[in-house]
Structure 1
Amino acid sequence: MAALRPSELSKKIVRDYIGLTSSDLLPNFPNRSSINVMLWNYREVDNKIFRRNFKELIRLYHPNVVALFETKVLFSFMGLFFNHLGYTASTIVDPVGRVVGILLIWDPIQVSVSAHVSKSQLIQVTVKRENYEE
């Protein structure tokens, strides 16, 4: 069996998950929110490999909001890096001891984010974009 291209594999996974056969058309959901979000579990955010890969992902997908989980670095060491990429607003939970942190960054020109709860394992927010539902 030939290997599937990434887009074909993604479609197969979705079909399998929602119980469609290979001949069924995938449902076409309208893009109601128009907000791109990137979630990434990456511990070592202060190294060159992360920075290179992060810049490439930003260039390709243009996420409005980025959440980085299980970070081991204080935000103060990475803040300027994110600011130079346009992510000038943030809600953070810095790591303390062996408890890892969370970085939630966004482009305030594209979206408005209001933080409600910020704890060691959780950040709860409301994300808004002009002319769209919360």
Structure 2
Amino acid sequence: KNGTVSERFTINTGEYDKDKMNIIEQFDGNDHLTFWGSPECNSIKASDGSIFPPSQLDKTTTLHVFYPNLCRRLPFQYEKTIEIVDGIELYRYRMPLNVFDDPGHNPENQCYCEIDTATCPPRGIINVTDCTMGKI
């Protein structure tokens, strides 16, 4: 690889199941990633962030957006309801503050440690070398 992301997506249209609308089914021909230490962290089942299935838009569901340049999907949680023009209400979602924490502060990030060495990046950093440059 030369450090670029090809970004070939297969995205569900929702024609047969509206709950899968705009959910990524494949990325570069694969239905999951292989860079991380668990199926959950290798999952690409997420939106591209432009639209979400109607069933996911509630205050209790965590939304996931796949970011190819980070080689992972990121969670977004309901923060608050905001009002825009003419009383139209919108739900505001934000990433949790601990999304890039080390496993000592966010145990869910243990699977983003290096598989071969179990080395974990420090708080605020994610090592995407394997997925952007390929294994050496």
Q: Which has the higher helix share?
A: 1
* Greater Rg over alpha carbons, structure: 1
TM-score > 0.5, shorter chain as reference: no
